[in-house]
A and B are shown apart, each in its own frame.
Chain A
């Protein structure tokens, strides 16, 4: 009985952690205007979803977040029409290309390069321009 009580408490703690991670992912996405998906996907795989389902479900989680956040940003005046149209057009075209390339690319090399760029950009941003 003691053991099952202990199991129950760790289970409850894990449950709490999941909710905390969901809240954190939302905060990150709202504050930085992106990056929430990078936290939601590992959260979902931790909940037992396979990689494909985790990615799909993450999109379903992040889409409403981005919609609400974008609405708040625009209402508060953080909006640039030209930039949105040019970059947005590029993102949509690139997104289609990326989805098509997904099966062909050597994912390890590409993701390794991506993370290196990410760390480099992060260091530059922390130091400041």
Chain B
């Protein structure tokens, strides 16, 4: 029975991850808060699951030429160093403190991303009220000005 819940928790996080919204931020609290898993084990599970899931995804992105190599090379080295150092310390930390820090991170992230989503929604509405003239109209002698 428990097995089913663990699979479902993973699936819920996976759906969010597949949509490109950061599934780990859902999987980990689901595992710890709802299913009583240990914080560090939940983190380890999420890391491994992400590697397995995103390897084929990355292959597709590379094939579609969506990976920007200059930005990747700029960011990856420092990010890699930071994660290696912090991953070394995480298993040594008391699970209670780690869990509280993660909670704080979730609150900040939720407010930040939520505010961003609302802002984008409002912006989208404004655009709907003032439709743009399609570019095909702009064929040399007629400019957008002529339609105003």
A interface residues (Cβ-Cβ under 8 A, vs B): 18-19, 22-38, 40-41, 43-44, 47, 49, 52-53, 55-57, 59-70, 72-74, 76-80, 82-84, 86-102, 105, 107-108, 110-112, 114-119, 121-129
Report chain B residues within 8 Å CB of A68. Answer: 80, 83-84, 87
A residues within 8 A CB of B108? 122
A93 with B11: in contact, given A52-B66, A73-B47, A114-B26 (CB under 8 Å)?
yes
Chain B facing A: main interface SS: helix
Q: Is the CB–CB distance between B66 and A53 below 8 Å? A: yes
Contact of A91 among B17, B72, B101 (CB under 8 A): B17
Interface residues on B, range: 35 or more
Taking CB atoms and an 8 Å cut-off, the chain B residues in 5-52 that contact chain A are 6-29, 31-33, 37, 40-52
What chain A residues lie within 8 Å of B71 (beta carbons)?
44, 47, 49, 57
Is A121 within 8 A of B13, CB to CB?
A: no
Q: Which residues of chain B are near A108, meaning CB under 8 Å?
A: 117, 121
**Chain B residues whose CB sits within 8 angstroms of the CB of A67 once the complex forms:** 51
**Across the interface, which residues of B come within 8 angstroms of A125, CB to CB?**
29, 32-33, 99-100, 102-103, 106
Residue B81 lies at the interface, judged by CB distance under 8 Å to chain A? yes
Please, which residue of chain B has its CB at the minimum distance from the CB of A77?
B91
Interface hits, B75-99 → A, CB 8 Å? 75-76, 78-92, 96, 98-99
